[in-house]
Structure 1
């Protein structure tokens, strides 16, 4: 079990406070719009936090990591662009203004969101024994479980919305397929992510979306 230093515990508390303020802000109609506009900033801050606490132990495979996450960003963005403009991959949905500037109806930050999710789920399991179950299957299932909550909360944050307000099964199947694909490529490239803040941030974000869903 990971033992956190006093400084790390303080950082975790600060992360929790930031997201708690976000929950309160989204729950009050007067401030809802303002906090919606702050969503991209919080996403970027979360990414910078992970970069700060990242510990590269890839033993000469730094280039592999950079190439892999460039692939995730590019592929994630292009797949989302295809999906939102055709409805062929995830089902019929539209992006709102909650994730910032868009190209062809697709927020630029959605590529970073894929990077964030792959990295978080990778780093949570990397300290464990390396095998196909821990390296590919469990991280992928964790992503699908996270998506089950996020998809319900996203429309309330104007991130994206689904036709008729119903998330199709097709979306979750595609998420599972993409998660398995990205984590399989990562595993094959021997990309290992070590970050002590990955699990706390993942838990805080999951609780955040769950409370947004329950309170709004």
Structure 2
């Protein structure tokens, strides 16, 4: 790639970042459409099938406004995806640390019976909640613990919706306490990595995206 081509691409990305209001509007529209689509039984299967693309869209928007692509960030990203994903693999095959459950087909391509999008979901939740809490809690350990509790609270919102939409199914149809304890433990570990990893943490879209994720599942809790 020539220097001029690279410069042009960087200029284009800077232009997009400068238009935060437009990007936020697009993000809001996508999430509103998702809520409406999931709420209408006639079109719900279409929106269920689009769930992996919705997650990738959210990931793309988040990373568009991330500026530090150092080895430290790449290491964190791999750790967040890998630890989150492998904890789910363990959960599906052994029941530890979350309990006994299986994934349905909605979240797309699976490896070891776990959708790859689950790793993306862990990364999104760690990054967005970590970015929010680092701004209000200076102590990294306390910020990590608060992040783990926030993520567990979000999972509490996600669970009924995920079950209704066939993302996953719990043994006996009951969400065990171990699920939430597991979420606190795994989330705390990855939050520590996020807060101690030496990369620039200043993403203008992270908190905005987190709010939309929470609203999405909170609203669907009342509808589904």
> Taking structure 1 as the reference length, what is the TM-score of the superposition?
0.88
Distance in structure 1 (CA, Å) of the matches to 2:97 and 2:173: 17
1:102 aligns with 2:114: no
Q: Contact 2:108/2:116 (CA < 8 Å) preserved in 1? A: yes
Higher mean displacement: 168-177 or 78-87: 78-87
Give distance in 2, aligned partners of 1:122 and 1:54: 14
Q: Which residue of 2 aligns with 1:53?
A: 65
Q: 2:196 and 2:20 mapped to 1: Cα distance?
A: 32
Shift of 1:38: 0.2
Q: Within 2, Cα distance between the matches of 1:72 and 1:137?
A: 16
* 2:78 alignment counterpart: 70
Equivalent in the alignment of 2:221 = 213
CA-CA distance at 1:34 after TM superposition = 0.7
Q: In 2, distance between residues paired with 1:54 and 1:62?
A: 11
Structure 1 gaps of 5+ residues are none
Structure 2 residue 183 is matched with structure 1 residue 171: no
Aligned equivalents of 1:6 and 1:194: distance in 2?
14
1:14 alignment partner in structure 2: 26
Q: Do the aligned partners of residues 127 and 156 (structure 1) sit closer, same or farther apart at CA in structure 2, a change above 3 Å counting? A: same
Kindly tell me the number of residue pairs found equivalent between the two proteins: 208
Q: Secondary structure at the match of 1:89?
A: coil
Q: Deviations over 1:34-80 (max 9, x none)?
A: 10000000100100001111133xxxx82111112112212221221
State the match for 1:31 in structure 2: 43
Shift of 1:81: 1.0
CA RMSD of aligned residues (A): 2.0
State TM-score, norm by structure 2. 0.85
- State the distance in 2 between where 1:28 and 1:200 align: 26
Q: Is the CA contact (8 Å cut-off) linking 1:128 and 1:134 kept in structure 2? A: no
Gaps of 5+ in 2: 1-16
The 1:172/1:18 distance shift into structure 2, 3 A limit, reads same
Contact 2:99–2:178, Cα closer than 8 Å, also in 1: yes
Distance between the aligned counterparts of 1:134 and 1:190, measured in 2? 18
Counterpart in the other structure of 1:155: 163
Q: Secondary structure at the match of 1:94?
A: strand
